[in-house]
Amino acid sequence: MNSTAQIKSLYTLFSPCYLCPLNCGVSRLKGERGICNAGVKMKISSATLYFGEEPPLVGSYGSGAIFFSYCNLKCVYCQNYNFSQNGVGKYVSITKLAKIMLELQERGAANINLITATHFLPQAVSTIKIARKNGLNLPIVYNTSGYESVAVLKLLKGFIDIYLTDFRYGTNEWAVKYSSAPFYTEVVSAALKEMYLQVGNLKVNRSGIAKRGLIIRHLLFPNGLNELTNSLKLIKKAIGTDVYISLMSQYVPVFKAMNYKEIGRRISKNELLRASFILRKFGFKNGWIQYL
């Protein structure tokens, strides 16, 4: 399938909307909104040089991050709830976003980092195509919760150079309770396989900047060692242990998290220590651990 056909297929999944595994089937072109609450027009919260990603994605000047408004997951602890769940942001056309991407490139961005773009994929991918035609030559990062449909991921082949995905829950109980994401472990395992198939393991250039590949993030929760253990088991089963894992310790109980005793605090040093031990025990040697 060529890139025009891929974009056309993405638009056919837009309305009725089947862009993510929640498969709402709402007619977005008629003004209906699904679980993510995204409308027809692409909306972003910000576009900026961003230093909060893993070292190979940041380089000297930062990652060219584009934060999309809305999200298909309803995480009770979301730090970005203002734009992810309340939809704060500004509408942006495809041509305008292509211009923004080129500006980020001029400012020295190490990549273009599409953060939670699932619900606007037809427009986001059209934007990449236009920006490429106009001189964009940076790697494109697809920064995702991992809760993606394989059929949709297949349509991204060739547009995405780096998949930066979460694998946050090892049990469907936690995924439903804290993110309203049914069948999470099955969905994310399948998505992971497809991403790995497309881009393989992480490759960096001589300066250590990521050019292609997959990075998996695991956000460590308080009382979450069982979630970590099961996540690693599932990752190992899906794609083995060579993949780069980013173990994140930055969890803060914001938004609605204080309503849940289990996750109503930060993680402890002891939990992080035990987590790094579990990671090694499973045989994952590549990646990063964010220390407290």
The single residue among 6, 7, 10, 34 that binds ligand SF4, judged by CB under 6 A, is: 34
Q: Which of 22, 175, 215, 267 binds ligand SF4 (CB under 6 A)?
A: 22
Q: Which is nearer to ligand SF4, 169 or 284 (CB)?
A: 169
Residue 186 token pair = 């099955």
Q: With b meaning 16 or more CB within 10 Å and e meaning fewer, what string describes 238-265? A: bbeeebbbbbbbebebebebeeeeebee
Q: In the complex with ligand SF4, which residue's Cβ is closer, 121 or 248?
A: 121
DSSP-derived secondary structure for 101-164:
HHHHHHTT-S-EEEES-GGGHHHHHHHHHHHHHTT--SPEEEEE-S---HHHHHTTTTT-SEEE
Question: In angstroms, what is the minimal distance from the CB of 233 to ligand SF4?
Answer: 27
- Phi and psi, residue 216, nearest 5°: -110, 130
Contact predicate 95/129, CB 8 Å: no
CB-wise, 63 or 145, nearer to ligand SF4? 145
Min CB(34)–ligand SF4 separation in Å: 2
Q: Which residue's CB comes closest to ligand SF4?
A: 34
Which CB, 71 or 239, lies closer to ligand SF4? Answer: 71
Q: Mask: binding to ligand SF4, 109-138, rule CB under 6 A, as x and -?
A: ---------xx-------------------
- Residue from 6, 7, 10, 35 that binds ligand SF4 (CB under 6 A)? 35
Least Å distance, CB 160 to ligand SF4, is: 17
How many positions of this chain bind ligand SF4 (CB under 6 A)?
15
Site string for ligand SF4, 67-86 (x = CB under 6 A): -----x--------------
Compute, in degrees rounded to 10, the torsion defined by CA atoms 36, 41, 45, 49.
120
- The C-alpha atoms of residue 46 and residue 202 are separated, in whole angstroms, by 27
Closer of 72 and 144 to ligand SF4 (Cβ): 72
Residue 36 interacts with ligand SF4 (CB under 6 A): yes or no: yes
Q: How far is the CB of 25 from ligand SF4 (least distance, A)?
A: 7
Closest separation in Å from C-beta 120 to ligand SF4: 9
Give the distance from CA 110 to its chain's centroid: 17
> Measured on CA atoms in the order 283, 285, 288, 292, is the torsion positive or negative?
positive
When asked if residue 43 is in the footprint of ligand SF4 (CB under 6 A), the reply is no
Report the chain's terminal Cα–Cα distance, integer Å: 46
Q: How many CA atoms lie within 13 A of 205 on its CB side?
A: 11
- Nearest distance from residue 19's CB to ligand SF4, in Å? 4
Q: Does the footprint of ligand SF4 cover residue 17 (CB under 6 A)?
A: yes
Q: Could you tell me the smallest distance in angstroms from the CB atom of residue 188 to ligand SF4?
A: 15
* Burial grade of 148 (CB within 10 A; 0-12, 13-18, 19 or more): buried
CA 136 – CA 115 distance, rounded (Å): 18
- Specify the stretch interacting with ligand SF4 by CB under 6 A; choose among 20-28, 74-82, 151-159, 237-245: 20-28
Q: Which residues contact 188 (CB under 8 A, 6 or more apart)?
A: 146, 147, 148, 165, 166, 167, 234
Instruction: List residues near ligand SF4 by CB under 6 A.
Output: 17-20, 22-24, 26, 34-36, 38, 72, 118-119
